[in-house]
């Protein structure tokens, strides 16, 4: 695939991200990348990684999850080494560099009632800092009926960290590091909640403290395949949380260390970078 230079994000996109903690970048990824990611995801679903799983209680559908695909599969590695996404990450974080924290697959097949609970990502993450972001990248057209993400704009600036909620309700019951998550579903009218209908090629960037949720996929025939690429910038450091997901292996960092190691490589700028690729 020819290397397609990243477009420059607009001032409006960067300002929206800064103020709202979430922005939809329309037409940000060329169709070739979507096809490549579909191939990679098919293989991930057929050959799950060590943290790959499906959440329980899914009606007749399936809510599949996987992590660190880039360490196993060429399409996910090429997204980091050739696609515009790492450049978007540095631009949106207003950071001179972007380091890859993890890539994730979230696949809600038709007839999957499981919601994605309200949560912030950062309390689940092994990174502290303000310059931390994610790019949620759907591979199918997404509407609220098929499980579009919903957001509370500005919640990244509340200066509040909520306890990680397990996507599987049995997970993380013992988390006591952060304040309890309010029951946003029961009190939705008290919040401004937005969502974006999306087409493949649109990408949602969010700061990792922005509160979000997704309903299940109630359609009978539309998949909702999505990938998330998480990045940290100049001010971010490694941290250990008491609970929540862990990196796929010990990264060889101590709390407070900067990123830029084998498991969390620098992906932007690209000049001279050697991205490790493990078979
Ligand atoms: O796709 C989903 O349902 C969940 C995605 C999500 O919560 C995230 O990327 O932070």
3-state helix, strand, coil in the chain (%, to 5): 20, 25, 50
Looking at residue 212, what is its pLDDT? 98
Mean pLDDT over 184-198 rounds to 97
Q: Report the pLDDT value the prediction gives residue 143, as an integer from 0 to 100.
A: 98
Q: What is the percentage of the chain residues whose pLDDT exceeds 70? A: 92
Residue of minimum CA distance from atom 9 in ligand 1: 228
pTM here is 0.94
What is the mean predicted confidence (pLDDT) over 15-20?
A: 98
User: Which distant-in-sequence residues (6+ apart) come within 8 Å of 102 by Cβ?
Assistant: 67, 68, 230, 247
Q: How far does the centroid of ligand 1 lie from the alpha carbon of residue 116, in Å? A: 7
Q: Does residue 215 register a pLDDT over 80?
A: yes
> What pLDDT, on the 0 to 100 scale, is given for residue 174?
55
- Give the pLDDT score at 250: 94
CA 265 – CA 245 distance, rounded (Å): 19
Give 106 Cα–ligand 1 centroid separation in angstroms: 6
Determine if ligand 1 sits within 6 Å of the CB of residue 226.
yes
Q: Judge contact between 84 and 5, C-beta under 8 A.
A: yes
Atom of ligand 1 at shortest range from CA of 228: 9
- On the question of pLDDT at 279 being above 50, the answer is no
Q: Is the CB of 134 under 6 A from ligand 1?
A: yes
Residue 193: pLDDT band by 50, 70, 90 thresholds? very high
Residue spans per domain, the chain? 14-268
Q: Are residues 73 and 137 in contact, defined by beta-carbon separation less than 8 angstroms?
A: no
Is 106 touching ligand 1 by the criterion CB < 6 Å? yes
pLDDT surpasses 70 at 27: yes
**How high does pLDDT run on average in the chain?**
92
CA-CA distance, 214 to 219, in Å (whole number)?
14
Q: What is the pLDDT of residues 117-169, one digit of tens each?
A: 999 999 989 999 999 999 999 999 999 999 999 999 999 999 999 988 766 65
Residue 81 C-beta-side C-alpha neighbours within 13 Å: 16
pLDDT per position as a tens digit, 43-76: 999 999 999 988 877 678 888 899 999 999 999 9
Q: Nearest C-alpha to atom 10 of ligand 1 is from which residue?
A: 121
Query: 3-class SS at 74?
Result: helix
Q: What crossing angle do the helices spanning 74-82 and 85-93 adopt, rounded to 10°?
A: 50
Phi then psi dihedrals of residue 237, to 5 deg: -135, 160
Tokens of 131: 């310059």
φ, ψ of residue 212 in degrees (nearest 5): -150, 170
Asked if 151 and 193 touch (Cβ cutoff 8 Å), the reply is yes
- CATH code: domain 14-268 is 2.60.120.620
Q: Is 68 helix (H, G, I), strand (E, B) or coil?
A: coil
Name the band, by pLDDT with cuts 50, 70 and 90, for residue 175. Answer: low
pLDDT at 204 over 90: yes
Counting residues of the chain whose pLDDT is more than 90, the rounded percentage is 80
Q: Which residue has the higher pLDDT, 2 or 98?
A: 98
DSSP 89: H
- Decide: 66 and 49 in contact? Cβ < 8 Å: yes
Ligand 1: atom nearest CA of 116 is 3
Report the range of poorest mean pLDDT among 202-211, 226-235, 252-261, 264-273. Answer: 264-273
Phi, psi of 46 (to 5 degrees): -80, -30
Q: How would you classify residue 52: left for phi > 0, otherwise alpha for psi between -120 and 50, otherwise beta?
A: beta
């Amino acid at each position: 695939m020819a290397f397609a230079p990243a477009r420059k994000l607009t001032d409006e996109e960067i300002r929206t991200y800064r103020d709202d903690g979430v922005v939809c970048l329309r037409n940000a990824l060329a169709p070739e990348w979507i096809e490549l990611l579909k191939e990679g995801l098919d293989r991930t679903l057929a050959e799950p990684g060590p943290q790959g799983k499906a959440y329980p209680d899914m009606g007749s559908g399936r809510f599949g999850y996987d992590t660190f695909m880039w360490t196993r599969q060429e399409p996910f590695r090429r997204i980091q080494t050739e696609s515009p996404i790492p450049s978007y990450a540095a631009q949106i974080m207003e950071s001179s560099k972007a380091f890859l924290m993890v890539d994730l697959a979230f696949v809600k097949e038709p007839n999957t009632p499981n919601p994605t609970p309200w949560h912030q990502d950062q309390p689940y993450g092994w990174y502290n800092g303000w310059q931390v972001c994610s790019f949620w990248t759907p591979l199918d057209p997404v509407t609220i009926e098929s499980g579009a993400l919903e957001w509370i704009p500005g919640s990244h600036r509340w200066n509040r960290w909520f306890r990680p909620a397990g996507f599987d309700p049995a997970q993380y019951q013992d988390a006591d590091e952060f304040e309890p998550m309010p029951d946003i579903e029961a009190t939705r009218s008290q919040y401004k909640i937005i969502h974006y209908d999306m087409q493949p090629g649109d990408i949602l960037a969010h700061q990792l403290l922005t509160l979000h949720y997704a309903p299940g996929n109630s359609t009978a025939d539309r998949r909702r395949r999505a990938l998330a690429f998480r990045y940290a910038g100049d001010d971010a450091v490694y941290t250990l949380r008491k609970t929540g997901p862990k990196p796929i292996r010990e990264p060889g960092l101590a709390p407070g260390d900067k990123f830029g190691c084998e498991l969390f490589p620098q992906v932007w700028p690209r000049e001279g970078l050697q991205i490790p690729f493990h078979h």
